[in-house]
Amino acid sequence: MVDFNPKVLNKEELSAISAGVNEEELLLFDKHLLDNYYDSNVFIEAKEPGSPWVIVKDFKTGEQSEKLDCTAQYWSLALGFAHPDVNYAVAEQMKRFTHIKSEGVFPSRAKFINKLSELCPGRLKGGRVKINNEGGSLAVEAAVKFALVASKGGDHFLTFRGGYHGNTLAMITASQPFHTITRFRPFGVDFFTRVPQPYCYRCLWNYKNGLYGKQDPECNLECFNLVKEYLMGLTSRKLAGVILEPWQAAGGHVPFPPDFLVKLREVCEQEKIFIIYDESQTGVYRTGKYFTLTEKYEKELGIDVSPDMMCFTKAIGGGFPLGAMIVSNKIKKRFGPTEDHTTFCNTPIGCTAGLASIMVIERAKIGENCEERGKQITKQLKELQEKYDVMGDIRGPGLFIGIELVKDQKSREHFTELMEDMLHEGVRQNILFGPSMPYLSGTGKLLKRNLIKIKPPLNITEEDADFICDKFESVLKTSLNNLK
Ligand SMILES: Cc1ncc(COP(=O)(O)O)c(C=O)c1O
């Protein structure tokens, strides 16, 4: 075991910082916090190292319970809470140093970047990697900057309805608008044009059989023809890139039909527009045994829809803050010294944790487990769907599962209240489900938020998966009763 010997404070004092918090400290916290929202539970510790279960304490009653986390803390903890291998590697790194300035080279930075370059699919294999100490917003911003550097005259970007690319001032603009509920105007509005996202379950062209994330067999991809108009010059300025999540996540688990991606590739190549995939949620084995969704399409459908740039956050850091962006080495440019850096961007902790986590996933075949457990859960959910008319559509490969809740399967009317009640009822029944993001009208009216997510750590067991399905039904039943 790694040993640290404190010199100034004693071990008890130091471990007390994270071990617990008393009522008085929590009252002060409530007073001092700038944000006006926080969870009703205090997270205490992993049930066991590397477990998808976590021990939490009720903020008000002080009651302690164990909860199975189907959010993986914003879909980040691929290996559960406090994985021992990752923590061991991090502790070893910490014995050496914890911070090196942005142009510094150190072993875990070199190895992590090499590994990402080796793992990325298609035309990104062998590409050039840029990491940051924060996550997805900065990764997508790095791609935007790089597209500006490498584009021949383009300085504008297409994004899609429901796309989410982060919360920095510029990335809010690239994302599905929250401006009706934010009290400031985001920056760079003239850099982005938003276009409709293909949405097979709720097709704008009224095809009705786009179920389970699949295209309606009758569909002629009219949605692509619309987007093509923009690619061919409908935007007010010349396009440098198009930014998309190949399987949109926060916006409601809405996939681009693979044929759409093929056509997009053709037009973008012809028009010299960079394709930037944001695989922040679908990357790092979340959709099954492949590193990215793009790789899954390559191996299973035989199509290479790999982009010019790809962005990651969440699981890429092995439980620590990290973002990454990779660029195809067909683009010959590189970033200059000050074009994309922050003080902490090359975090040794993040690089070490990220690499250790990928090594564990590979060695323990966690991607394969993700695929199996995903099939197990989805099969049971589809059985439940026959019993419950409010389960509209079930989408997502692997443990990237979203269930669209509707008033009834025929009308497909959004059932937002049910999703919201299930989140609360889940907490009461010791399971944490995740929500999709809210869609708001220009006046701030909530239009829909009806997708409930099951995206636990990828190392859940068969028993955990059965527990999730049993609880899903029990929570659904109770919530339907609560809403009567
Ligand atoms: C697809 C996608 N891109 C980017 C981001 C932003 O990442 P971060 O919150 O790490 O800045 C997120 C976060 O949810 C995301 O889901």
Residue 432 has pLDDT above 70, yes or no: yes
Which of 295, 184, 305 minimizes the C-alpha distance to 244? Answer: 305
Q: Tell me: the pLDDT tens digits for 324-366?
A: 999 999 999 999 998 999 999 999 999 999 999 999 999 999 9
Quick: pLDDT tens for 202-253. 999 999 999 999 999 999 999 999 999 999 999 999 999 999 999 999 999 9
pLDDT of residue 443: 82
Instruction: For residues 432 and 72, give the distance between their C-alpha atoms in angstroms, rounded to a whole number.
Output: 9
Helix (H) or strand (E) holding 263: helix 258-271
Amino acid type, 194 = R
pLDDT of 37 reads: 86
Residue 179 reports pLDDT greater than 80: no
Cα end-to-end distance, the chain, whole Å: 55
User: Could you write out the DSSP letters of every residue in 425-459?
Assistant: HHHHTTEE-EEPPPEE-TT--EEE--EEEE---TT
470 CA to centre of ligand 1 in angstroms: 30
User: CB within 8 A of 12, min separation 6: which ones?
Assistant: none
Average pLDDT over residues 419-428: 97
Residue by residue, DSSP assigns 331-353 as S-----TTTS--TTTT-HHHHHH
On whether the pTM is more than 0.95, the answer is: yes
pLDDT at 380 (0 to 100): 98
Q: At 452, phi and psi to the nearest 5?
A: -105, 135
| Mean local confidence (pLDDT), 249-271 | 98
Query: Where in the sequence of the chain do the CATH 3.40.640.10 domains occur?
Result: 87-363
Q: How confident is the model at residue 403 (pLDDT cuts 50, 70, 90)?
A: very high
Cα–Cα distance for residue pair 453/17, rounded to 1 Å: 33
Rounded to the nearest angstrom, the distance between the alpha carbon of 142 and the centre of ligand 1 is 13
What spacing in Å lies between the alpha carbon of 70 and ligand 1's midpoint? 17
Distance of CA 465 to the CA centre of its chain: 21
CA 163 to ligand 1: nearest atom: 1
181 pLDDT band (50/70/90 cuts)?
Answer: low
Residues lining ligand 1, Cβ inside 6 A: 135-137, 140, 164-166, 245, 249-250, 278, 280-281, 313
Helix axes 107-119, 348-363, angle to 10 degrees: 50
Ligand 1 atom at minimal distance to the Cα of residue 138: 11
| Architecture of the domain made up of 366-482 | Alpha-Beta Complex (3.90)
Atom of ligand 1 nearest to the CA of 321: 10
For residue 84, which of 357, 347, 286, 317 has the smallest C-alpha distance?
357
**What would the mean pLDDT of 293-301 be, rounded to a whole number?**
97
CB 162 within 8 A of CB 197: yes
User: pLDDT value at position 184?
Assistant: 83
258-271 and 222-229 helices, crossing angle to 10°? 20
Q: Per-residue confidence at 132, pLDDT binned at 50, 70, 90?
A: very high
∠ CA(173), CA(285), CA(144), 5° rounding? 25
pLDDT score of 282 more than 70: yes
Distance 280 CA to ligand 1 centre (A): 6
Decide yes or no: CATH 3.40.50.11890 for domain 87-363.
no
Among 172, 163, 175, 178, CA closest to 439? 178
CATH 3.90.1150.10 in the chain: give the residue spans: 366-482
pLDDT score at 444: 84
pLDDT band at 441 (very low <50, low <70, confident <90, very high): confident
Interval between CA 136 and ligand 1 midpoint (Å)? 4
- Locate the ligand 1 atom nearest the alpha carbon of residue 140 and give its number: 4
